[in-house]
């Protein structure tokens, strides 16, 4: 595992700086030894989750655990050790508690804290804002205009997230179609599979020649240039009637197949009317190696971020 200094942006192996990997997960601000002599800041740490089996950081001031699941597991373990736990153990207790919470779950717009101590409420607000930069705290003196302005901003952010998620789903659908099309591409011709290299022998045995003649043609790469188009360019293409027909499966995916060595593969991405498809041998194409797996992994990571709790909270903002 490696960690970057928040000042000089240099990367260090945790083992080289004498830090355990479990401790690195708890770092809030890391200052390397070289920067400690130049800046007043020092390395700061996040509190550890109270679940003894978890190495993640807690989420103060809302919780002393890293997630609701860890809090339930810890509580279930304590209940299981008591008389109320029964004979099924902590796992069954945790499942029972999670089931009750899931049934009683409801959407919320925020967090409300009651306090008669003004100083304590101000301290809680300060700590909450330090860990939730995008979450303002409204008190009794907040005006309707302030609350309405914040709600409008959240709704705009939600609309932007919904647009990104819809575009990503469209890209995933196109990636699936491009992957399915690879097996349907015409096989490579003999002159496209020739590789210049020194011959091992002047003559070939009859069996070797027969095996080579009956050998199946290698599969083409099949990479479609639309996979690396910018969002705006791809969105314009996806909005066309032809693209809608392809994405919905009522029309075959188009594209101009480019043979190895053809300069057409480097055409401008704005040439929406003539998207190119790499026709090189799949195993010999170094430019698009394993493109289907790599692109799918990248898009799935982006989708997990967009549907994460922090982004999901924006999409749950009510219209009232």
Give per-residue pLDDT as tens, 26-57: 888 889 989 988 888 888 888 888 887 888 88
Taken in order of first residue, the domains within the chain and their CATH numbers are 1-45 (3.30.40.10), 163-190+218-306 (no CATH)
Kindly state the average pLDDT of the residues 76-82: 70
pTM, two decimal places = 0.49
Instruction: For 196-221, write each residue's pLDDT tens digit.
Output: 344 445 555 555 555 555 556 788 89
Phi-psi region of 89 (alpha: psi -120 to 50; beta: other; left: phi over 0): left
The three-class DSSP label of residue 57 is: strand
Cis amide leading into 61 (omega within 30): yes
Task: Note the pLDDT tens digit of each residue in 128-182.
Answer: 655 555 455 555 556 777 777 877 887 888 888 888 889 999 999 999 999 999 9
Instruction: Give the mean model confidence (pLDDT) for residues 9-27.
Output: 86
Question: First-to-last CA distance in the chain?
Answer: 47
């Amino acid at each position: 595992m490696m960690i970057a200094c928040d000042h000089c942006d240099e990367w260090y192996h945790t083992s080289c700086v004498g830090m355990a990997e479990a401790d690195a997960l708890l770092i809030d601000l890391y200052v390397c030894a070289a920067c400690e002599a130049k800046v007043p800041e020092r390395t700061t740490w996040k509190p550890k989750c109270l679940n003894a089996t978890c190495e993640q950081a807690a989420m103060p001031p809302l919780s002393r655990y890293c997630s609701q699941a860890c809090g339930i597991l810890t509580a279930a373990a304590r209940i299981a050790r008591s008389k109320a736990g029964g004979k099924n153990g902590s796992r069954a207790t945790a499942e029972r508690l999670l089931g009750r919470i899931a049934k009683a779950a409801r959407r919320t717009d925020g967090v409300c804290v009651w306090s008669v101590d003004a100083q304590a409420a101000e301290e809680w607000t300060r700590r909450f804002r330090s860990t939730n930069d995008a979450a303002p705290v409204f008190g009794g003196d907040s005006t309707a205009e302030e609350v309405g302005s914040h709600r409008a901003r959240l709704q705009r952010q939600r609309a932007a997230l919904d647009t990104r998620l819809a575009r990503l789903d469209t890209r995933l659908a196109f990636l699936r179609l491009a992957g399915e099309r690879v097996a349907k591409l015409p096989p490579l011709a003999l002159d496209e599979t020739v590789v210049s290299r020194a011959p091992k022998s002047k003559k070939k045995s009859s069996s070797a020649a027969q095996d080579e003649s009956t050998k199946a043609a290698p599969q083409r790469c099949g990479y479609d240039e639309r996979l690396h188009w910018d969002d705006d360019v791809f969105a314009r293409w996806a909005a066309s009637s032809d693209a809608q027909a392809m994405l919905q499966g009522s029309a075959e995916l188009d594209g101009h197949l480019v043979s190895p060595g053809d300069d057409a593969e480097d055409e401008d991405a704005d040439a929406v009317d003539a998207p190119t498809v790499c026709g090189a041998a799949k195993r010999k194409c170094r430019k698009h190696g394993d493109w289907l797996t790599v692109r799918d992994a990248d898009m799935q990571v982006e989708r997990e971020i967009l549907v994460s709790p922090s982004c999901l909270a924006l999409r749950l903002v009510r219209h009232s």
